[in-house]
Amino acid sequence: MHGGDVYSDENPNGRDLIDFSSNANPYGPPESIYKIQGEALEHAMKYPDIEYRLLRKEILTHHNLSNVSVVLGNGAGEIIDLAIRGIESILILSPSYSEYEESAKRYGVKTSYLEYTHYQIEEKKYQLKIDVDDFYRKFESVDAVIIAHPNNPDGSMLDFKTMNSIVEFAKENNKRIIVDETFFDYSIGKLPFTPFLEENIDLVIIKAITKFYGLPGIRFGYGLCSREETAKNIRSYQRPWNINAYAEKFAIECFKDLDYKMDANITNREERSWLVGHLLELNIIERVYMSQGNYILFKLKNMKAGEFREELIKEGILVRNCDNYKGLDEYFVRIAVKKRSENIKLLSALKK
Amino acid sequence: MHGGDVYSDENPNGRDLIDFSSNANPYGPPESIYKIQGEALEHAMKYPDIEYRLLRKEILTHHNLSNVSVVLGNGAGEIIDLAIRGIESILILSPSYSEYEESAKRYGVKTSYLEYTHYQIEEKKYQLKIDVDDFYRKFESVDAVIIAHPNNPDGSMLDFKTMNSIVEFAKENNKRIIVDETFFDYSIGKLPFTPFLEENIDLVIIKAITKFYGLPGIRFGYGLCSREETAKNIRSYQRPWNINAYAEKFAIECFKDLDYKMDANITNREERSWLVGHLLELNIIERVYMSQGNYILFKLKNMKAGEFREELIKEGILVRNCDNYKGLDEYFVRIAVKKRSENIKLLSALKK
């Protein structure tokens, strides 16, 4: 159901696999994180500020925002969950992150679905796109939409025109837009939804730092809400002190390291493009989807993803079988973009 | 509303106060925690096991339990919250931890209340007790009860006879018992509710390690459920990966250090008894409540707790004003048992 499944009852410490199923930054956290461990431990010996004033201030500074309400979560999933809770009905695109549907189910939120169009760019190269007319027809009859930007599992993004027109539509028709930008940090140069927070609209943008900064075990994400009312509603479901001391310290530290961000982007773009090039050459692969994230979706030609995954485990590699994504059939696989040495191992295994 | 309020808009880094309002162990964590920081950071670079198999196994070993279902929370508060959620009505004793009522409100759980009896042991020495007849009369008409053991804010505990009879009553009448034992680690030699987990009863015991082991910023607590069905229900409200990597590593490390546990208990008992002795001598104090925890409740004679708190802040000391506890009037104050040097500073300030 989720990536990162290297653990099992037989191997509770985790199997010795190269994990291409999870999307955490393979280069590990910024150097400075190692240096502030002692400080973070000191910090953990006190109760956190129940309002996390410093952290919220740093988040606003990081995004150069004001007049925006910040909500904090023990992982981005908490904010996704609570942004969906409390609405009546939601439009979910497919394929997309399965937790959106899980959250809707959990709180009895009615769901409707819109399938992405599988648009062919050139031979074997594909991209997921939204059919805008279909989108509005469906959006009209619900209270909210959730969009992953870039989308998971394929890494597609919206162009400015589409973003702007969705925002205008939501404004006129009084809808909530929830944007999951937990992988946006890999998309430097692309437009985030954050500038729209200043519009008179009910917009919630969810950000994460732990994946991008190589610290998925830290559990921290946050939401930027254009409306204080929405933020209040989200907070009303939260318990006090939901953010741990390490998350607080590490987040603030990560924000400072702009070089890390730039380097990670350059490296990821390079590796992704190298990997895509090689995947396109493989006969077992029917399609590769163009991604703005640090992961790549592809479709197999003659082998089902489940079997493919099992074969690769024998080679010491774990990939994400996407057959449980709504809107994808049993031939889809997602891999993470990792270090060159690991990417080479993956390609050798694929050639086998 | 909560203790530990050293932060403010003016001082987001925290004021320079000795914090007698929060109950974290003043001696800091076990030595070994400092040594495994690097290991914990490595661990944080991977996704945690979504089932946290190792951690759950260590918890069962630590309590010498089997056939018990473990649920894990980002702080004990999460488990308290979810154990209350999903029942129709609950009996809450007062005074007790305010979050019980908050949780009940959050999920529309009907509440009824029973006040503890303020029982005088000898001159100025008091203890909170439960009137058992009253208790059963009220318990009969609800689905569950929540008991803090030891109780917060006073540190009282139940004797074995009462515990046993409550368990028998719940068994016969099919009620859920929720026991908050987050401060039980200070009560070595006293009987926990854990042995009753083997009875055919719907019992949830909530434990914490972060306060006792001096790591309140780590956010970790867990629940031991006699019924798998109850554990399943609690888990159904949780999101994946709710426990951060540091909590996982540090918890397992803390469990190993049995010397720390014994030392903390001996030291706390000594300091508590020393502090109680001195508090009883002060004219401004009308009553002192006998505690099995690392905190002491007392009642002031001629000064309201709010004013008392403000006066002590001027002396660099923060105490917990208990006037917002249901069942206590505006003369009640709770203090933590801290290090001797800090306890001396408190007493000097009180003498002023």
The answer for A 40-79 residues in CB contact with B (under 8 A) is 41, 43-51, 53-54, 57, 74-75, 77-78
pLDDT at B211: 87
pLDDT tens-digit map of B26-59: 999 999 999 999 999 999 998 889 899 999 999 9
C-beta atoms of A74 and B5 within 8 A: no
Residue A220 · residue A246 · CB < 8 Å = no
**By mean pLDDT, which of A52-56, A240-244, B4-8, B233-237 is the weakest?**
B4-8
Average pLDDT of the segment spanning A62-88: 95
Residue A284 · residue A303 · CB < 8 Å = yes
Residue B333 · residue B319 · CB < 8 Å = yes
pLDDT at A3: 60
Residue B286 · residue B331 · CB < 8 Å = yes
Q: Is the pLDDT of residue A73 over 90?
A: yes
C-beta atoms of A44 and B81 within 8 A: no
Assign A138 a pLDDT band (cuts: 50, 70, 90): very high
pLDDT at A2: 62
C-alpha–C-alpha distance, residues A37 and B37, integer Å: 7
Q: Is the pLDDT of residue A211 over 90?
A: no
Q: Is the pLDDT of residue B188 over 90?
A: no
Residue among B21, B57, B219, B234 with most chain A CBs within 10 A, to mutate = B219
C-beta atoms of A54 and B218 within 8 A: no
Tokens of A334: 């997602």
- Select the CATH number that applies to the domain covering A12-29+259-351 from these four: 3.90.1300.10, 3.40.50.150, 3.30.1360.120, 3.90.1150.10: 3.90.1150.10
Average pLDDT of the segment spanning B195-221: 94
pLDDT tens-digit map of A264-322: 999 999 999 999 999 999 999 999 999 999 999 999 999 999 999 999 999 999 999 99
The residues spanned by each domain of chain A are 12-29+259-351, 31-257
pLDDT at A153: 96
* pTM, entire model: 0.91
pLDDT at A9: 72
pLDDT tens-digit map of B211-265: 899 999 999 999 999 999 999 999 999 988 899 999 999 999 999 999 999 999 9
pLDDT at A1: 56
- Residue A216 CA to its chain's centroid (Å): 12
Q: What percent of chain A has pLDDT over 70?
A: 99
Q: Distances in Å between the alpha carbon of B150 and those of A174, B95, B205, B295?
A: 50, 12, 12, 10
Q: Is the pLDDT of residue B24 over 90?
A: no
Q: Which of B338, B337, B303, B339 is nearest to B321 (CA)?
A: B303
Q: Is the pLDDT of residue B4 over 70?
A: no
Tokens of A202: 């009910």
The answer for A 162-221 residues in CB contact with B (under 8 A) is 214-219
Residue B80 · residue B225 · CB < 8 Å = no
* Residues ≥6 apart with Cβ < 8 Å to B12: A49, A53, A54, A57
Phi, psi of A174 (to 5 degrees): 60, 55
C-beta atoms of A219 and B41 within 8 A: no
pLDDT at A6: 76
Contacts B5 to A, Cβ<8 Å: 50
pLDDT tens-digit map of B64-121: 999 999 999 999 999 999 999 989 999 999 999 999 999 999 999 999 999 999 999 9
ipTM of the complex: 0.88
pLDDT at A47: 86
CATH code for the structural domain at A31-257: 3.40.640.10
**A and B: number of Cβ contacts within 8 A:** 160
Q: Which of B133, B132, B190 is nearest to B156 (CA)?
A: B190
Average pLDDT of the segment spanning B136-141: 97
First to last CA, chain A: 27
C-alpha–C-alpha distance, residues B236 and B26, integer Å: 36
Residue A142 · residue A90 · CB < 8 Å = yes
Which residue type sits at A238? Answer: Q
pLDDT at B1: 57
Residue among A45, A59, A70, A237 with most chain B CBs within 10 A, to mutate = A45
pLDDT at B340: 95
Average pLDDT of the segment spanning A3-24: 79
Assign A143 a pLDDT band (cuts: 50, 70, 90): very high
C-alpha–C-alpha distance, residues B183 and A320, integer Å: 43
Tokens of A10: 């037989």
Strand partners, A70: A224
Rounded to the nearest 10°, the torsion over CA A40, A41, A46, A50 is 40
pLDDT tens-digit map of B269-327: 999 999 999 999 999 999 999 999 999 999 999 999 999 999 999 999 999 999 999 99
Tell me, yes or no, if the two domains B12-29+259-351 and B31-257 fold the same way: no
pLDDT at A28: 92
C-beta atoms of A243 and B7 within 8 A: no
